[in-house]
Every structure is written in C-alpha cells, then in structure tokens.
Amino acid sequence: MRWFWYASPQTFFPLAGTIARWSGIAAAVLALVGLYIGFFVAPTDAQQGEAYRIIFIHVPAAWMSMFIYVVMAFWAGLGLALNTRLSGMMASALAPTGALFTFIALWTGALWGRPTWGTYWVWGDARLMSELILLFLYFGFMALHAAIEDPRRADRAAGLLALVGVVNVPIIYWSVKWWNTLHQGASVSLTAAPKMAATMLTGMLVMALAFWMYSIAAAMLRVRCIIRERGA
C-alpha cells in the first residue's frame, strides 16, 4: 500500500467510494443476520423478558459512540502533528456519525431503563452523565468547526477540542467501576468471560460489526462530500 499516495484527497476520493459501497453492503447483510439472531434465535431473558432485546442495538451503539470518538481524535491529532489536509477531513467526516450513535445509545438506554430500572433517566449516574458529555463533545466539535470560516483553521481548532475531549472516553468506559451508581457493570469485557447466553452474545457482536461497517460507509460518503465541497 502506498499510504502517502492516498493521503492526498484527490487520490483518496475514488477509494473512499469503493470502501463506502462494500462496507455499506456488508452493514446491510450483517444487520439482517444480527436482527434475525436478536429476535428469532436468542431466547427470552429470564429476568428482563423481551425488553432485553434492546441491548442488541444499545450496547453496539454505545461501543461505536466511544470508538468513533477515539478514531476522530486520532485523525485530529494526526492532522495537528503532520498538517495533512485529509486528516482534518476524516475527523469532520466522523463527528456526525459518532454523535448519532451517542444519541442512539442514550435513547435506547432510556427505553431499556424504564422497564428495567423503573426510570428513563437519572441525573447523577456516572455512565449516563459521561455519555451525555460525549454527545456535547461531538456537538462542540461540529459547532466550533462550523463557526470558523477557513476550513484548515477550523480543522486545527476543532481538532484540539477533539484531542482534549478524548479523556472522557476512558471515563465512560470505567465509569461503572469507578462510581457504583445505577448503570450496571459490563456484561462483556476484554478480560472476563461474558455474563450472558452464547446466542445473545453472538447477536450483539454481529450487530456491533454491522454498526462498524455502517460507520465506515457513512464516514466515507461524508468525506467524499467534504472533499468535493472544499474543492480539493
């Protein structure tokens, strides 16, 4: 791979289109498989009944909200360090999709919380608050970028905000450990055996892959728009 060849927006443009097409197709296929497992293969939960089926989108959306932020901050940092044009465009291309998944995580969490915890929302829960801050960080990034007319100066200013805000991601991740508030601990982690049935876990992981592919497709479509709009 000639990485620096693709660091130029003009040469990256057609590649982004190809990636968008294939990851979009992959996202659709994976989502159909994931939904099939989530609704027809995974059994009813003994404690939560059918309400638990929300986790098949809630958990993957929450993962994506954090992961996209880290990738966005990575591109922002790369742009600040190397002053490459495409890096800032990639960060801008990821922000709205990240904000969308943050909103979905909060929305589905509220609808899951109501039947399970008895409330849609609690002020003061560490996990809920840090995820809400993540949403505001995405909004802040987009608002700051939109407020500065020169796109390359906007890239740098918003990029700095993205980098500072990245400290919030480990706070979200470990919030359920550090503060023992309402949101329960992780059901799936890298260090321990998952605390759920195998079919439930499979459904969740397939949906996570689907969201992942979707995010790549959306970011590639958006970066193509940005490249065109900036006339690069």
Partner 1 sequence: MSEFFAMGGYAWYVWGSYGVTFFCLFAEIFLLLKRSREAKE
Distance CA 59, CA 204 (A): 7
CB 226 within 8 Å of CB 32: no
Query: 131: how many CB neighbours lie within 10 A of its CB?
Result: 23
Cα separation of 76 and 87, whole Å? 6
Closer by beta carbon to partner 1, 82 or else 225 = 225
Interface with partner 1, residue 162, by CB under 8 A: no
> Does 151 participate in binding partner 1 (rule CB under 8 A)?
no
From residue 57 to residue 86, the character string flagging contacts with partner 1 as x (rule: CB under 8 A) and all else as - is xx--x-------------------------
| Residue closest to 48 by CA, chosen among 56, 70, 153, 134 | 56
Phi-psi domain of 218 (left: phi exceeds 0; alpha: psi -120 through 50; beta: other): alpha
The SS3 call for residue 187 is coil
Distance of closest approach, residue 41 Cβ to partner 1, in angstroms: 14
- In the bound state with partner 1, the residue whose beta carbon lies nearer, of 56 and 75, is 56
Count of residues in contact with partner 1, rule CB under 8 A: 31
Tokens 């890298």 identify what position?
Answer: 190
Our finding on whether 92 is near partner 1 (CB under 8 A) is no
Footprint of partner 1 on 25-44 (CB under 8 A): 39, 44
**Residue 14 interacts with partner 1 (CB under 8 A): yes or no:** no
Q: Is 181 exposed, middle or buried (0-12, 13-18, 19+ CB in 10 A)?
A: middle
Rule CB under 8 A: say whether 229 interacts with partner 1: yes
- Rounded CA gap, 129 and 121, in Å? 10
What does the alpha-carbon distance between residue 67 and residue 61 come to, in Å, rounded to a whole number?
Answer: 10
* Stretch of 7-15, 50-58, 82-90, 155-163 lying at the interface with partner 1 (CB under 8 A): 50-58
Among 111, 160, 201, 232, binds partner 1 (CB under 8 A): 111
- Residue 100 binds partner 1 (CB under 8 A): yes
Residue 107 sits in the site that holds partner 1 (CB under 8 A)? yes
Q: Given the rule CB under 8 A, which residues bind partner 1?
A: 24, 39, 44, 49-51, 53-54, 57-58, 61, 96-97, 100, 103-104, 107-108, 111-112, 114-115, 214, 217-218, 221-222, 224-225, 228-229
